[in-house]
Structure 1
Amino acid sequence: MPVDGWAVARAGLVYAEWDGERCRITGDELIEGRHPASRLITALAGDQRLIVGHGLLRSDLRAVAMVTAVLDAVLLRSLDTLVLAHRLRGGRYSTGCGLSDLAWENLGIRRRKPHVPDRLSGGADPGLRVGRQDHAPRDDAALLANLRQTLITTRVLVWGGGFTAGGRKGSVELTDEHVAELTGRRPQPENAAWRPLLRAKGGGDEDGQEAGAACNRRRPAVPGRDTGPGGASAACRAHSGASAHR
C-alpha cells in the first residue's frame, strides 16, 4: 500500500520504565476520536524518554506525516526495531523480521494481531481475508516492550523465515553498540535520513512539514536518553491503529 493510502484511526500508548534488567509497564493510553495523529505527536513530544516502535520510521511516522508535522523532538528520540532488525539481518527487507516473527522466534509468543493484513491474505475472497481493524493497538506495544527487554538481556536477535520466497531463519549476537541503541544511549543512524527519504518517496503534508520546521526552530529537540537507572522506552504503531510504549 502506498504511503498516501495510509491513515491513522487510533493510537495505543504503553508507558514503561527500564531499570537495567527488566521493563516495567507503568500505564497505557488509547488515543481515538478526532485528530488521533496530531494528538499522538503531542503526547509523544510531551515526554523526553525514548520512543520505540516496530515499523515506527518505515510506516507509523510516515502515516502520521500525511496529516500533521512530525517534530524533531519526536523523531530524534525514535527507535524503530524493524529497521534495526533488518540492518542486523542484512539484505533486502523480508517478512521474517515482522513483529509476529520476532515475537515467536525470540519469546515463543503468538501475536494476537493477525500476521497477514487483508491486502495480502486472499484478495477479493472474503473467506480468505483476515480482519485487523478491531485489534487493540496497545497489545502490540506491550508485546514490543517484552521483546525489547529480551533483546537487551539475551543480546541475541532471532528472525524467522517469513512467507516470501527464499526467506531463511537466522540469528545474530548484539554488540554493545546495538544494546546502547536499544536503550537510547546511542541514536538510531536511520533517524537523520528519515525526512529526506520521506520527501524523495512522497508523502507528508507540506504545510505540516513547514509548521513542524517552524516549531522545531522555536523548541530545541532533546536527543533520546535514559531516564532513571536504565531509562525508559516507547513504541508507536500507526496505520489502522497505533501503539506506543514509553
Structure 2
Amino acid sequence: MSALMFEKVWLDKNLYNDAEKNYYESLNKMDNVASLAGVPNTEIQTKLNRLELENSNLKKALDDLRKLVISLQARVESIESTGEAQSKAVAPKAQAQAKEDQESDDGVDLFGSDDEEESAEAAKLREERLAAYNAKKSKKPVLIAKSNIILDVKPWDDETDMKAMEDAVRKIDTDGLLWGAAKLVPLAFGIHKLQISCVVEDDKVSVDWLTEEIEKIEDFVQSVDIAAFNKV
C-alpha cells in the first residue's frame, strides 16, 4: 500500500475518534442541563432540543465515518494480498530465467579456454579459420599515400631554351614519380617560367629530393619553387 493511502486511513481514524469524543461530551452537557432545577424554562428546553438535533446529526456522521474506515481497511488488505500473490508468482519466473542465463553462459567457447582441454577437432577448426582470415587480409589492397605537386621552374633569362629545360626535367625518373602536364607562365621582361605537375608516392619520393634533382640542371634552371601541394 502506498504512503498516501496509509496517511488517509490514519487521518480518517483520528477524525472518527475526535467526533466520538465530541458526541459523548455533548451527552454529558445534556445530562448536566437536565439536572438543573425542575422549574419549566423555555430557553433551557430550546437548547436541549437543539443539542438533541446536533447529537443526532453527529451520530449519523460517526456511523458514515465508521463505514468509510472499514471500507478503507478492507481495500488496504486486498491490495496487500494482491501484491504478495504477484511477488510469489514472479519469483519462480525470475529464478527460471536466471538459471537459463547461467546455462547459456556455460556453452562452448569457440576460441578455446585455458581451463579446458582443447579437442583436436576444435583446434583444427580454429586453425582453418585463422588461415582463411589471414589469406583474406593479405588480398586486401594496401592504400598508398600520394601527393600532387605543382612546381615552378625558373630559367636564368629570356634566352633559355624552355623546351630543352622541360625535357631535362622530365628525364628525372625514379620509382613512385609520375610527371604530368606542363605550361609556360609569363614572369617579366619576356621571361617565362615552366610550371609542371607531378604525382609522387610519399613513401618513395620526397619533395626535397625532387627539387634538388631539378636544381642540378644548372644549364637551364635558376631555382625551383613549390606552387601547390595536395594529398591525393
TM-score bracket relative to the smaller structure: under 0.3
Larger Rg: 2
In the superposition, the TM-score normalised over structure 2's length comes to 0.17
In the superposition, the TM-score normalised over structure 1's length comes to 0.16
Question: Could you say which structure has the higher helix fraction?
Answer: 2
Structure with bigger RCO (C-alpha 8 Å, 6+ apart):
1
